[in-house]
Amino acid sequence: MPVFTESKKGYDKDEVNNFIKQLNETTEARISEKDAKIKELEDEIRRLTKKGDITTTQAPSETPSEDVGEAKKKYERLCADMGEKLLLAEVKASEIIDDANKKAEKIMIDARVSANEKVEEILKDANLKADGIRKAVADYSEKGQEIMALLNTTEETFRKALEGISAHIYKG
């Protein structure tokens, strides 16, 4: 079973997709091989049945009808065996595909959860920074108001001092 590399947003999508693609290709190749073997065996059975004579290394039966009957039984057993093998192969292929789909779905869910956690973390950090900036702006605004009040007081003090000096100069 492959181990997928984790990335920032879960598992590496390319690795997962490549694994599923490879799994599908392997399954399709095995099914094709099985189908080709079945066709080959069916063709051989048809050929032997059509001829009506099956050559064996065993001693011939007492009557030709027994040979045909035996060949028919062998053919039926072979068909039953091939049917069972075909069914097993189809079930196994279906299980492999279902398993791959379940794993892909789990990987996607894990990736979504991981992505959501990262987004929440980024938003939390951004909100903390924004709160810090808002506090700094409020502090600077308050300092600015204090400086303006100090400037106004200083200006008023200078104005009064100038008026006093002017009154003293013109009086004198």
The structural domains of the chain, with segments of one domain joined by +, span 11-171
Report the alpha-carbon distance of residue 36 to residue 39 in Å, rounded: 5
- Provide φ and ψ at 12, rounded to 5°: -65, 115
pTM for this structure? Answer: 0.39
Average pLDDT of span 12-22: 81
* pLDDT, tens digit, 9 for 90 and up, residues 80-124: 888 888 888 888 888 999 889 999 899 999 999 999 999 999 999
* pLDDT, tens digit, 9 for 90 and up, residues 23-69: 888 888 888 888 888 888 888 888 887 776 554 444 444 455 567 77
Tell me which of 67 and 168 has the higher pLDDT: 168
The three-class DSSP label of residue 11 is strand
The three-class DSSP label of residue 6 is strand
